[in-house]
């Protein structure tokens, strides 16, 4: 680990590469713009630039939906600097004229325009490019590019569909990929993608090297998960459990949990070759970065996984998981009938009538069809079980019953305490305390159950801690990069211990750093932030600090916490200075703020609509997400001397004096 960099207290900035705007870029930020931005940062005494993932995501704007763990996104290529592009100035000027004045960059349109031009340039110069030995030398050092080139060619020939929907080559092995690569009729089709990646690598490395020479740390973002529709899952299916989808359990913001759609890892398979794929990812990232963000680090301890047949994440469980056995339930004094009660949804007759007939407004025949098609009665009781053919919400949605009935029945799937996810292997439903089964337990039964689950959790904690130490060591040992964790979400007790032991920075988002176990949920004082942490005001999935203050914050409480109780209710530069100066005093060694939060320090760069300044709105898919741009070129923004001056002030604010207790006490 680079201790000279790790030990330095500094101010940093987060910005997506695509958001950069310079006099030379066309429509979207490009790798070379990072150099111009770094010069701007140097003037403001900003010592670190953090970017979002820059992997190839095809025509999908989300940088977290990559088609490859190694390939870079062609949208960030400065075409004018490619040797073969010298004769295409008019085409480049036309793209710039079309897109440079857009407030947010239209990702798909720009990606398509640039790719079309790149294809033309390559086709016109294919002979020359084919004779270029630098391309073959580059390929020898980047073996992953063969499978990537074949994958991208096949994806293109299948109308950009997921490989799961291809007409052929859905299942391949290394020999198949090599044979496809060596197809003489497809040589130029594959060479195009290799040529692209070689040029992207050259430009990004040049920018990264220049930034390093300026004494600024470039910090990358390494998403933990891979898109199901990616070259890596296609070429290395053994590394993934494709039948499960990663996500997050239910919480106050997502009552059904989060289902991200990404497959989970088969860590046992990866261990067999000593995590070769992950080690290659780290080595690839080291070409560009001095530090990196480990996205969703909690997933290295345990990942919330849901069978793909479920649409929501309510029916998920943590993996790895210590299963609950039938014998365990018998030892809790539950007989077979009670075990059935605890593990299967039991649906009262009157609830079906209420949901479909009363509230749903459906005729009686529809209600009777629900019973006929979906449910089996338990003897003469007014209780029903799902038919054995119905296990997932997809099974319910396939039935010819009213929408109101489907909504009710899908909700009932999670109305139980335990889910049998494999033969004689049960997991606890996350919301089991809300079930009718839990409500029916006696006080003594609840006490026994809770004690049993607590013991299971303690066993799981030890397993998760051991798992994370092993996996995170693969990412950190022998790497020159400084590791920073995104450790947001439902944590386990072992998380801070492991991060502290491996010297991985934790993340402190001011608005969420609160004592959730104390009445009123007071904010954690800045001087209690641990030294080995990153403090920030917003993240790419949240509102900006401005929008949060205007629309979401408990203004009175937060203003008092920051020692400025008389701040205006509408965010302004004075508010920004009050908050950012306090955040800059945090005990965290690195204070890294989103660029948009820093731009609000002066009045010049405020958008009329605060919502327009967001990067992403989770749970939505549209042309807005991930397309935020600087409100002006870097060259224009450098002229804002007030902004430069006030940001420079942040870098000299000392850390607030710590409390007597150790900031890392909770991690020991």
Query: For 300-334, how does the pLDDT look when each residue is reduced to its tens digit (9 = 90+)?
Result: 999 999 999 998 899 999 999 889 999 999 999 99
Query: For 168-222, how does the pLDDT look when each residue is reduced to its tens digit (9 = 90+)?
Result: 999 999 999 999 999 999 999 999 999 999 999 999 999 999 999 999 999 999 9
Is 128 among the domain residues? yes
Q: Crossing angle, helix 187-213 and helix 33-43, to 10 degrees?
A: 10
Is 492 among the domain residues? no
Sign of CA dihedral 593, 295, 5, 30: negative
Query: For 630-650, how does the pLDDT look when each residue is reduced to its tens digit (9 = 90+)?
Result: 999 999 999 999 999 999 999
Are residues 433 and 328 part of one domain?
Answer: yes
- Determine how many CB atoms are found less than 10 A away from the CB of residue 288: 23
Mean pLDDT, residues 573-599: 97
Are residues 515 and 420 part of one domain?
Answer: no
Is 82 among the domain residues? yes
Query: For 7-52, how does the pLDDT look when each residue is reduced to its tens digit (9 = 90+)?
Result: 789 999 999 999 999 999 999 999 999 999 999 999 999 999 999 9
Residue at which a domain ends, from 195, 215, 235:
235
Are residues 537 and 444 part of one domain?
Answer: no
Are residues 347 and 423 part of one domain?
Answer: yes
How many whole angstroms separate alpha carbon 666 and alpha carbon 503? 15
Identify the domain containing residue 180 by its residue range.
3-235
DSSP 220-240: EEE-SS--SSSHHHHH-GGGE
The residues, ordered by sequence, that sit 6+ positions from 27 with a Cβ below 8 Å of its Cβ are 95, 96, 98, 99, 100, 102, 105, 106, 110, 113
Query: For 227-251, how does the pLDDT look when each residue is reduced to its tens digit (9 = 90+)?
Result: 999 999 999 999 999 999 999 999 8
Is 253 among the domain residues? no
Write the CA distances from 31 to 19, 23, 88, 402, integer angstroms: 11, 13, 20, 53
- What pLDDT is stored for residue 619 in this prediction? 83
Is the CB of residue 313 less than 8 Å from the CB of residue 258?
yes
Q: Is the pLDDT assigned to residue 292 strictly greater than 50?
A: yes
pLDDT classification of 6: cutoffs 50, 70, 90: low
Is 471 among the domain residues? no
Residue at which a domain ends, from 455, 484, 515:
455
Is 104 among the domain residues? yes
Are residues 513 and 414 part of one domain?
Answer: no
Q: Are strands 347-348 and 10-14 parallel, antiparallel or unpaired?
A: unpaired
Is the CB of residue 180 less than 8 Å from the CB of residue 151?
no
State phi, psi for 501 to the nearest 5 degrees: -65, -40
Are residues 328 and 388 part of one domain?
Answer: yes
DSSP 19-51: G---SS--SS--TTHHHHHHHHHHHTT--EEE-
Are residues 645 and 547 part of one domain?
Answer: yes
- What pLDDT is stored for residue 2 in this prediction? 45
Is 328 among the domain residues? yes
- What pLDDT is stored for residue 509 in this prediction? 98
Residue at which a domain ends, from 438, 455, 472:
455
> What are the beta bridge partners of residue 482?
291
Mean pLDDT, residues 527-548: 97
Are residues 525 and 433 part of one domain?
Answer: no
Are residues 658 and 526 part of one domain?
Answer: yes
Query: For 539-566, how does the pLDDT look when each residue is reduced to its tens digit (9 = 90+)?
Result: 999 999 999 999 999 999 999 999 988 8
Query: For 43-89, how does the pLDDT look when each residue is reduced to its tens digit (9 = 90+)?
Result: 999 999 999 999 999 999 999 999 999 999 999 999 999 999 999 99
The residues, ordered by sequence, that sit 6+ positions from 402 with a Cβ below 8 Å of its Cβ are 356, 360, 362, 366, 370
Is the CB of residue 246 less than 8 Å from the CB of residue 225?
yes
The 3-state DSSP class for residue 358 equals: helix
Are residues 408 and 519 part of one domain?
Answer: no
Q: Chain-wide mean pLDDT for the chain?
A: 95
- What pLDDT is stored for residue 1 in this prediction? 40
Is 100 among the domain residues? yes
Domain total of the chain? 3
Report the CATH number at residue 66.
3.20.20.80
How many whole angstroms separate alpha carbon 621 and alpha carbon 600? 27
Please report, rounded to a whole number, the percentage of residues in the chain having pLDDT higher than 90.
92
Q: How many helices (H) and strands (E) does the chain have?
A: 27, 17
| Rg of the chain in Å (alpha carbons) | 27
How many whole angstroms separate alpha carbon 664 and alpha carbon 589? 13
> What are the beta bridge partners of residue 593?
13
């Amino acid at each position: 680990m680079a201790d000279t960099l790790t030990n330095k207290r500094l101010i940093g900035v987060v910005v997506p590469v695509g958001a950069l705007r310079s006099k030379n870029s066309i429509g979207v930020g490009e790798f070379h713009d990072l150099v111009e931005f770094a010069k701007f940062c140097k003037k403001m005494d900003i010592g670190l630039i953090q970017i979002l993932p820059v992997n190839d995501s095809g025509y999908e704007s989300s940088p977290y939906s990559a088609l490859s763990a190694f390939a870079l996104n062609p949208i960030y290529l400065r075409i004018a600097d490619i040797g073969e592009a010298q004769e295409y100035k008019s085409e480049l000027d036309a793209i710039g004229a079309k897109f440079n004045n857009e407030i947010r960059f239209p990702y798909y349109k720009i990606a398509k325009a640039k790719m079309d031009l790149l294809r033309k340039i390559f086709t016109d110069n294919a002979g020359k490019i084919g004779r270029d030995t630098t391309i073959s030398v580059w390929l020898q050092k980047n073996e992953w590019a063969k499978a990537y080139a074949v994958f991208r060619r096949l994806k293109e020939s299948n109308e950009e569909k997921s490989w799961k929907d291809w007409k052929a080559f859905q299942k391949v092995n290394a020999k198949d990929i090599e044979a496809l690569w060596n197809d003489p009729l497809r040589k130029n089709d594959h060479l195009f993608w290799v040529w692209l990646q070689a040029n992207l690598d050259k430009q990004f490395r040049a920018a990264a090297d220049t930034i390093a020479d300026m004494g600024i740390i470039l910090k990358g973002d390494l998403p933990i998960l891979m898109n199901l529709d990616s070259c890596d899952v296609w070429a290395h299916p053994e590394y993934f459990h494709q039948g499960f989808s990663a996500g997050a359990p239910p919480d106050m913001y997502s009552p059904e949990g989060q289902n991200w759609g990404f497959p989970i890892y088969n860590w046992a398979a990866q261990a067999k070759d000593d995590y070769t794929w992950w080690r290659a990812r780290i080595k690839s990232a080291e070409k560009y970065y001095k530090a990196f963000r480990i996205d969703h680090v909690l997933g290295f301890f345990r990942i919330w996984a849901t069978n793909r047949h479920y649409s929501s994440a309510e029916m998920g469980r943590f993996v790895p998981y210590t299963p609950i056995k039938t014998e365990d339930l018998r030892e809790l004094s539950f007989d077979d009938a009670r075990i059935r009660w605890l593990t299967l949804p039991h649906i009262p007759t009157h609830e079906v009538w209420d949901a479909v007939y009363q509230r749903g407004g459906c005729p009686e025949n529809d209600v009777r069809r629900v019973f006929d098609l979906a449910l089996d009665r338990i003897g003469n009781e007014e209780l029903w079980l799902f038919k054995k053919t119905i296990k997932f919400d997809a099974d319910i949605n396939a039935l010819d019953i009213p929408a109101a009935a489907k909504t009710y029945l899908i909700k009932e799937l999670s109305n139980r305490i335990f889910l049998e996810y494999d033969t004689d292997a049960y997991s606890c439903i996350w919301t089991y305390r809300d079930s009718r089964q839990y409500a029916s337990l006696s006080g003594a039964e609840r006490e026994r159950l809770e004690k049993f689950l607590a013991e299971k959790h303690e066993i799981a904690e030890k397993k998760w801690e051991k798992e994370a130490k092993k996996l995170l060591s693969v990412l950190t040992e022998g790497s020159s990069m400084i590791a920073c964790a995104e450790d947001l979400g439902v944590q386990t007790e072992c998380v801070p211990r492991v991060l502290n032991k491996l010297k991985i920075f934790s993340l402190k988002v001011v608005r969420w750093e609160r004592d959730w176990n104390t009445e009123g949920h007071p904010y954690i004082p800045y001087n209690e932030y641990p030294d080995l942490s990153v403090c920030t005001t917003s993240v790419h999935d949240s509102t900006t600090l401005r929008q949060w203050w205007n629309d979401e914050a408990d203004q009175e409480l937060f203003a008092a916490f920051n020692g400025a109780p008389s701040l205006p209710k509408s965010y302004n530069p004075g508010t920004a200075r009050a908050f950012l100066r306090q955040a800059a005093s945090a005990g965290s060694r690195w204070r890294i703020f989103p660029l948009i939060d820093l731009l609000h320090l002066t009045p010049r760069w405020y958008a009329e609509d605060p919502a327009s300044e967001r990067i992403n709105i989770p749970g939505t898919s549209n042309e807005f997400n991930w397309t935020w741009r600087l409100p002006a070129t870097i060259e224009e923004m450098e002229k804002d001397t007030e902004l430069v001056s006030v940001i420079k002030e942040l870098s000299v604010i000392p850390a607030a004096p710590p409390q007597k207790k150790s900031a890392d006490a909770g991690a020991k």
